[in-house]
Structure 1
Amino acid sequence: MLTRRDLGLGLGAWALATGLPALAQGVRVMKLANTAAVNDPQQCFVTAGQHPRLNFYKPAGVDPEYVNMSSMTQALQSLRAGHVDFGPAVPGILLPAMAKDPSLDLVSVYKWLPGNANTVVVKPGSPIKSVADLVGKRIGVRSQGDAGIVVTKTMLAELGLKDDTCEYIAIGDGAPAGAAIDNDRVDAMVAFDTATARIELVGTRLRYVPLTPRFARLGSGWLCVPRKLLKDERKSLVALFQGMAKSTIFSNANLDAAIDLHWAVYPESKPKGRSEEEARKELAFILKDRKNSWMRRPDDPDQRMGASSLAEWNSNIEMAAESSKNPKLGKELGDPNRLFTNDLIDEINNFDKQAVIRMAREFKL
Structure 2
Amino acid sequence: MKAKKSVLYITTDGLTDPLGQSQILPYLQGLSKEYRIHILSCEKPEVYLQRAVVIQERVDKAGIQWHTVNFRNSPPVLGSWLMQRELRKKAKAIIKDNNISMLHCRSYPAGMIGMALGHKYDLPWLFDMRGFWPDERKDRHIWDLKNPLFLMVYKWFKHKEKQLFASASHIISLTWKAKEILIMSFGVIEDKISVIPCASDSGHFYKRNANTALKASLGFQPEHKILAYSGSLGSCYLLDEMLMFFKAGLNINPRLRMVFLSPKTYHEMVMERAAQLGLKPELVKCAFFSREEMPEALSIVDYGVMFFEPSFSIQASSPTKHGEFLSMHIPVVTNAGVGDMERILAEKPTGVIVHDFSEKEMLKAWQALVENNYLSEDFDDQAKKWYDLERGIDKYSDIYKLNV
Q: Does TM, normalized by the shorter one, top 0.5? A: no
Select the structure with the greater relative contact order (CA < 8 A; seq sep ≥ 6): 1
Q: TM-score, normalised by structure 1?
A: 0.31
Q: TM-score, normalised by structure 2?
A: 0.29
Larger radius of gyration: 2
